[in-house]
Structure 1
Amino acid sequence: MKMRLLATAAGFAAAILATATPASAQEEPAKPVTVTGSVGIVSEYRFRGVSQSDRELAVQGGITVSHESGFYVGTWGSNLSGWGTFGGANMELDLIAGFKAPIGEGATIDVGATWYMYPGGFDNTDFIEPYAKLSGTTGPLSLTAGVAYAPKQEALGAWYATGLDAANGVYTDPGDKNYNLYLWGDAAAGIPDTGLTVKAHIGYSKGNKGLGPFATSVAPTGEYWDWLIGADYVIPGTPLTLGVAYIDTDIGKGESAYLQPSFSRGQDGTGSIAGSTIIGSLTAAF
């Protein structure tokens, strides 16, 4: 869902490490409650193809508490800058809750919601987004299809019609509310006996065209595609994973021109924050 290389790498690392667990450990009774998490750094934090860290380094981490019934709660955080100021916030903190259950051999359904918070910013930049995911595994290949729908909220409204309005602090439609729909698919395949996993992602956004409070937006051009191709490598004998990925969107300069200067690196009118890039990551999973 979120284009967090950290979270993706941690998930793949956990799966690969699990296959290397000694048989004696695997035979231990399953615990009713398990705690998993990850912490690491990425060369840039991208959310659905758009930079939230002004194309700069980000430190990220998360933790999830899962019950044997299938219910889970978790939290995830990252630093922000530039486009992700969110009313003065320099941090994103997500609260997550859901339910996951098997629905067949090798298949899992996962439903829940994410509350996106920006501590230190203003409340009208926070929003909730329910989601549903269907995952399946066959051999070394895992596939996931998901949908996330955020109902109408102020954080998703088009308060500013253009980036110039936002730069001048002139509201076009203060208090406006809108929705956002995100559809995505993920694929990953582990290469046996190498510690290497290749992965791919594609996503489609449709929602508010314009800028919400403090020049933020989940779908800044109203409708666009994002995609990722990459690989993760689990360092033998450690909980560390190295990752690299190519990320891009179909948001062109002409299509996003009305968003300037808010949609630029440094918000100075130059350098798109939705153009193609290569991102590296180092993750420690537990």
Structure 2
Amino acid sequence: MRLWLLGMAGLLLPATALAQEMRPPRALSFEGAATLVSDYRFRGISLSDGHAAVQGTATARHRSGAYLSFWASTLDGFGELGGSNLELDLYAGVRHPLAGGTLDVGLLYYAYPGSSGGDFEFFEPYASYSHSFGPANAKFSLAFAPAQDALGGNSNFYAAADLAVALPATPMTLRAHAGRSHGNTPLSPTGDYLEWQFGADLVWRGLTLGVTYVDTDLSAAEAISAGAAREIVAPTIVLSLTANF
């Protein structure tokens, strides 16, 4: 009897393993992260007045490529719109393979819960294309915010390029970024400016430690004329610690 049971188990186990392999992937997947940064820089400009900020994100993805996501950060100083101390970004988009890379198209809504004294929330459609070349990944992004009350009735255009290179046999990735913002809106204090970053990430036991040099071609006088402190556009080193879950 014992030999018969062992024989049946030998027949059933491969069938069970095969059934598990043939089982379709889950329709929905979820991911998230929590981050502590020494300065919240949005397109090169500090929205935390040079102070530390706490940030978090969560995303639900469908196997079709569609996704819903939110991202939040504490604010301070120039970033406190009408007294709000929180930025909440809501995303809806779709990712699709294209020419060996990935096309990502969606709509972003910037919200500032608790803000008062004006219109601050706005929509921004976006699109990006990324492609990997060995250990390197290149990404090109475009975002266009049409004329809205929060933008002073004007539109804003943003274009950026990113390059990330994973160093072989190490837990480190090097990063470079350059962006250009154009439009007579709060998103572009002078109507047109450039921003750039250089940094590195180190992954250790589920944690990612980042260090990034951030700078713009905006001057202190231009920051002051926009009603902000000069430090929000000064070059700086941003440290970050991210836990993924």
Asked if Structure 1 and Structure 2 have the same fold, meaning a TM-score greater than 0.5 normalized by the shorter chain, the answer is yes
* Gapped regions of structure 2 (runs ≥ 5): 1-20
Q: In the alignment, does 2:112 pair up with 1:145?
A: no
Q: Residues 221-275 of structure 1: CA distance to partner in whole angstroms, max 9, x if unpaired?
A: 110000000000001xx2100000000000023444522xx220xxxxxx43111
Per the alignment, do residues 135 and 28 of structure 1 end up closer, same or farther by CA in structure 2, a change over 3 Å counting? farther
Counterpart of 1:154, as a letter, is D
Alignment of 1:1-286 (within 5 A): 30-105=25-100, 107-122=101-116, 124-157=119-152, 177-208=153-184, 217-235=186-204, 238-259=205-226, 262-264=227-229, 271-286=230-245
Structure 1 position 108, deviation (Å): 0.6
Structure 1 position 27, deviation (Å): 9.9
Equivalent in the alignment of 1:3: none
Larger of the two Rg values belongs to structure:
2
- Give distance in 1, aligned partners of 2:23 and 2:171: 25
Per the alignment, do residues 195 and 125 of structure 1 end up closer, same or farther by CA in structure 2, a change over 3 Å counting? same
Q: Residues 86-113 of structure 1: CA distance to partner in whole angstroms, max 9, x if unpaired?
A: 11100000110001100122x0100001
Report percent identity of matched pairs: 45
Q: Residues 18-57 of structure 1: CA distance to partner in whole angstroms, max 9, x if unpaired?
A: xxxxxxxx99853211111110200000000000000000
Secondary structure of 1:95's partner? strand
Structure 1 position 278, deviation (Å): 0.2
Secondary structure of 1:220's partner? coil
Greater RCO, CA 8 A, separation 6+: 1
Q: Report the TM-score, using the length of structure 1 for normalisation.
A: 0.76
- Give distance in 2, aligned partners of 1:227 and 1:276: 10
- Give distance in 1, aligned partners of 2:24 and 2:99: 22
- Give distance in 1, aligned partners of 2:22 and 2:178: 37
Counterpart of 1:117, as a letter, is A
- Give distance in 2, aligned partners of 1:253 and 1:53: 17
- Give distance in 2, aligned partners of 1:96 and 1:280: 25
* Gapped regions of structure 1 (runs ≥ 5): 1-25, 158-176, 210-216, 265-270
- Give distance in 2, aligned partners of 1:55 and 1:115: 24
Counterpart of 1:116, as a letter, is Y
- Give distance in 2, aligned partners of 1:54 and 1:257: 13
Secondary structure of 2:146's partner? strand
Q: Report the TM-score, using the length of structure 2 for normalisation.
A: 0.88
- Give distance in 2, aligned partners of 1:56 and 1:256: 17
Deviates most, 247-256 or 184-193:
247-256
Counterpart of 2:181, as a letter, is S
